[in-house]
Copies of this chain bind each other. A is one copy, B any other.
Amino acid sequence: MQTTATLVATDETDRLIAADKVVGTSVYNLRSEHLGSIYSLMVDKISGQVAYAVMSFGGFLGIGESYHPLPWRVLKYDLRMGGYVVDLDRRRLEGAPSYSASSLPDWSDREYGHRIDDYYGVPPYGI
């Protein structure tokens, strides 16, 4: 019984995390290659659901960095890796919707989100 309770508690520990701590978490692909890290979370104000996690990729100290919004549902948290794992090789990542610090996307354009969802083959968010 004690063992079960401990396992449950551990699961809970790993379950809730402050949003500002998600930022900076590493993202890997299925080959355990480091792809980037979480830069920000786009949250649905009404439902409280994280719709997109924006991954930063490449660059050095923010220079030359690109930002890839990923639908939350393509990210799987991997307790063993201590980060998110996504089924995405580098080549596919390079062709994915992305932006730079000097070309921020217009999140108010619903087509923008839909292009992201399309690319990753998930149902359009918010429909």
Contacts and interface: CB of A to CB of B under 8 A. Distances in A.
Interface SS of chain A: helix, strand, loop or mixed?
mixed
B20 A20 contact: yes
Interface string A43-79: 1111111111100000000000000000011010100
A101 interface: no
Interface in A17-52: 17-20, 22-23, 40-52
A15 interface: yes
Contact of A45 (B8, B14, B42, B45): B14
Given A18-B41, A20-B40, 17 more contacts: A9-B108, A12-B108, A12-B110, A15-B46, A16-B43, A16-B44, A16-B51, A18-B43, A19-B19, A19-B40, A19-B43, A20-B23, A46-B77, A47-B49, A48-B49, A48-B53, A49-B49
Interface residues of A, number: 38
Contacts of A51: 16
Contact of A16 (B8, B22, B23, B42): B42
Interface of A: 8-10, 12-20, 22-23, 40-53, 72-73, 75, 77, 107-110, 113, 126
A20 B17 contact: no
